[in-house]
Amino acid sequence: METTEILNQFNSCYQKIQAIAQDETWLLLIADKKIDPEAATHLGDVLHYLSEAMGCVEEVVEVKFNQETF
Instruction: Give per-residue pLDDT as tens, 17-45.
Output: 999 999 999 999 999 999 998 999 999 99
Q: For the chain, what is the largest distance between any 2 Cα atoms, rounded to a whole number of angstroms?
A: 57
* Domain that includes residue 7, residue range: 3-69
Domain count, the chain: 1
- Report the chain's mean pLDDT, rounded to a whole number: 92
C-alpha distances (whole Å) from 5 to each of 1, 12, 16, 18, 69 are 6, 10, 16, 20, 19
CA 38 to chain centre: 18
CA 30 to chain centre: 20
Residue 69 has pLDDT above 90, yes or no: no
Among the ranges given (2-11, 13-22, 43-52, 60-69), the one the predictor scored with the smallest mean pLDDT: 60-69
Surface-to-core class of residue 57, CB atoms within 10 Å of its CB (0-12 exposed, 13-18 middle, 19+ buried):
middle
Residue 66 has pLDDT above 80, yes or no: no
